[in-house]
Chains A and B, each alone.
Chain A
C-alpha cells in the first residue's frame, strides 16, 4: 500500500478476495469499484458503500501549512520538503525533531506542510461580522474623506476575502 498517494478512501475492510475478476469474464460476484489507497488521517468515519454492502473507511486528511518557527518536535510532515531545484530534503511522513527543524531552518526553509491541525488557524469570519468590525474600527474617523475612502477599500477587500 502506497502511503504517500493522496486519497480519501481507505481500502475496504474485507471485501473482494484476491484474484480480482478479469474484464470480460463472467463472475459470480460484482467487483468493488477501485478505491485510491489510504494516505494519512486522524478522523476516521466508517461509511457504508451504497449497493455493495461493504464497509469502507473514509479518511479525512488534515494538513496544515505552517511556518517552520511554529513547528514542534513530534509533528509529522504531510508533504516532502523540497528545495527550489526540486531536491528533496526530507520525505513526507518524517517526524520532526529539534535537530531536523534546525537543519531545515539553516537551509532557508520557511514553511512546511504537517499533518493534523495543531496550530490554530484564523477562523473564517462571515461577511456581516467583517463589515461590523470594519465599521467599528473606523467609527471615529469616518467623517474624514481620506479615512472614509480607506474604510470603503478595506471593507471591499475583507469582504472579498471572507
Chain B
C-alpha cells in the first residue's frame, strides 16, 4: 500500500541518522582524545554516507554559501558540534548492519568510480569538479534507498520480494509500494537534513539525470553512469542486485566513449582493492 507523499515527508522529518557502532565509537574516542586533526575526522566521516549527509546538512544550516566538502563542513562545525551530532546518530542493529554494509560499499564504489570517470568525460574538460565534490555526489546518491531499508522496512521487504519475482525495476516497485521512488524519498531526506543543492540534486535525479537542473546535468549524469558501472562490477546493495540500463543519451552528453570502459574498469578495480570493508560484513554479503 503506497503512502501519500506528504505523509512520507512527515515521517522523514523525524528520521534519525544511523551508522555502524564501531564507526561511531571510533569517532567519539578520537574526538575525545583531543589530539585528532579535523582532516582525520573528515576522512572517516567521508567514508560513511549518512554521517557525510548529516555533517554537510548541519554545516549548511549555519553557513553563508554552499558547503559541499566534508573537510570544510567539519571545520565550519568544529569538533564539539561534530561530537554532538555523532551522539544523536542511531547505532545500527543486526539486520541493518548486514544490509547497510552493502549500501555503504556501493556508495563508496560509486564515489570511487565518479573520480575515475570524470577524467574520461569530455564534458568536464576545463571545468572538472573538485574530487571531494565528486566523492560526496557518489557517496550520497543512494540516500533514499538506505532510508527506505532502515525506516520503511515493511514496504522495502515487499519491494525486494517483488523484485526477486521479476515484477519490475527497484525504483518502480518502490514507487508502487511506498509511494515514492528512491530519488523522491532521497530528496525528502535531503530537504529534512538540509543538504546543499548539488548533492540534493544528485540524490533526487540520479535515476533520470536529464531531469536535473540544467547546470547540474553533467554531474548527475556522471553519478548515473558511475552507479551502474559499480553495480555491474559487483557492488550491489542487499537483494537489489540487478544492473539498470545506462541511458545512451547520457553517454553522449558526457562525451564518454564506450571503448574506454575497459581501462576505466581496470582503474576502478585497482582502487577498490584499497577500499575499507565495513565491519567485515561486506565479505559475507557481496555477491562476487
Contacts and interface: CB of A to CB of B under 8 A. Distances in A.
A134 to B, nearest CB: 7
Main secondary structure of the interface of A (DSSP, over half): helix
Contact of B246 (A119, A133, A147, A157): A147
Interface residues of B, number: 43
A129 interface: yes
Interface stretch (A15-23, A37-45, A54-62, A148-156): A148-156
Contacts of A147: 243, 245-246
B162 to A, nearest CB: 14
A85 interface: no
Contacts of B80: none
A98 B29 contact: yes
A69 interface: yes
A149 B29 contact: no
Interface stretch (B36-44, B69-77, B179-187, B202-210): B36-44
Interface string A116-145: 000111110100011001101111110010
B269 interface: yes
Contacts of A111: 274
Contacts of A140: 166, 169, 242-244
Contacts of A105: 30, 36, 40
A149 B261 CA distance: 9
A66 to B, nearest CB: 9
Interface in A68-86: 69-70
Contacts of B287: 133, 136-137
Contacts of B7: none
Given A106-B36, A121-B283, A158-B234, A67 B276 contact: yes
Contacts of B47: 69
B127 interface: no
B211 interface: no
Please indicate which of the listed interface residues B40, B166, B236, B243 has the most CB atoms of chain A within 10 Å of its own CB: B243
Interface of A: 67, 69-70, 98-99, 102-103, 105-106, 111, 119-123, 125, 129-130, 133-134, 136-141, 144, 146-147, 149-151, 153-154, 157-158, 161
Given A121-B283, A134-B288, A150-B232, 18 more contacts: A70-B277, A98-B33, A102-B40, A106-B35, A106-B40, A119-B277, A120-B277, A130-B288, A137-B232, A137-B242, A140-B169, A140-B243, A141-B243, A141-B245, A146-B251, A150-B228, A150-B261, A151-B232
10 contacts: A69-B44, A70-B277, A133-B287, A134-B288, A138-B232, A140-B169, A146-B245, A149-B258, A157-B233, A157-B269
